[in-house]
Amino acid sequence: MSTLLLIVIFTAIGGILSVLAAGVFLLLPEQKRQSLLPHGISFAIGALLTGAFCGLIPHAFEDVAAEDMQMLSATILIGILLFFVLEKLLVWRHCHSHACEAHGEDSHDDHHGHNHHNDHGRRVAGMFIILGDSIHNFVDGVLIGAAFLTDPQLGIVTSLAVTAHEIPQEVGDFAILLHSGYTRGKALFYNMLASLTTVIGGVLAYFSLGDLHHILPYFLTLAASSFIYIAVADLIPSLHQKTDIKTSLQQIGFILAGVVLILVMQTIAHRFEG
């Protein structure tokens, strides 16, 4: 079997399998999902921040020249500002198409305008998680492709390690998309679509690995900035809506669970890759 065919098969299997495993969450009854959803958001915060600061960013800075480190740091800053401006533009466009509290056009019912604005903000967060996940999956595809070009056995092991690492991340992505107002079918569809960028990354790595190698750290830092922005700007503020001790402790516990699980998955992946 050719190396290119192996890359296509294993990048496709890795992406789809992680989404389907996380999609088990969608099979739960509606009432159960609604009760678990806030915990999923807390878990996603821990997973996103850990993935960015303990996975993507360290890998981006690995084996780069000292002069490139400043550029990579600037890319993270630019990425966060870019996502902020993009969200502002989307909200601004929305407010000029519909009455909303931001422009004072809905004085008759401020509460309704506020809820409508919040719903739109959550949907924007869902769009960002799809974009960030697509970039992250693309980079995973590049890494899997590079491993196959080195040794097919190493490629298979790497693809399995990436799948194991992606499952908890995909669970968090599903929680965010459902929180953003997406139906279960659309959440599954968009996650599956984002997973296909793994195949694109693997194929591009096969044909132009030399060129991609130089820009790979910038893809990693851009994905990291996306995850950081989503967690800090969109998800964490939603946790402050409830301030009682019990809920706060639950939020902290599930954030830590997201942190620990991603770290454990990364440790397992590194051992397999080694």
Residue 138 lies in a domain: yes
- What is the pLDDT averaged over residues 7-12? 92
**Domain contains 112:** no
Closest CA relative to residue 137, chosen from 243, 37, 54, 18: 18
Query: Is residue 114, in this structure, part of any structural domain at all?
Result: no
Question: Domains in the chain: how many in total?
Answer: 1
Please indicate, yes or no, if residue 27 is contained in any of the structural domains.
no
pLDDT digits (tens, 9 = 90+) for 122-157: 666 777 788 888 888 888 888 788 888 877 877 787
**Is 160 inside any structural domain?**
yes
184 belongs to a structural domain: yes
pLDDT of 16 > 90? The answer is no
The answer to the question of residue 56 being in a domain is yes
Is pLDDT above 60 for 190?
A: yes
Confidence of residue 228 (pLDDT cuts 50, 70, 90): very high
146, 16 Cβ separation under 8 angstroms: no
* Domain extent at residue 205: 3-21+42-96+120-272
Range picked from 29-33, 79-83, 98-102, 153-157 for highest mean pLDDT: 79-83
- The answer to whether the beta carbons of residues 143 and 21 sit under 8 Å apart is no
Domain membership flag for residue 108: no
Q: Which residue has the higher pLDDT, 212 or 108?
A: 212
Contacts of 26 (CB under 8 A, 6+ apart): 33, 174, 184, 187, 188
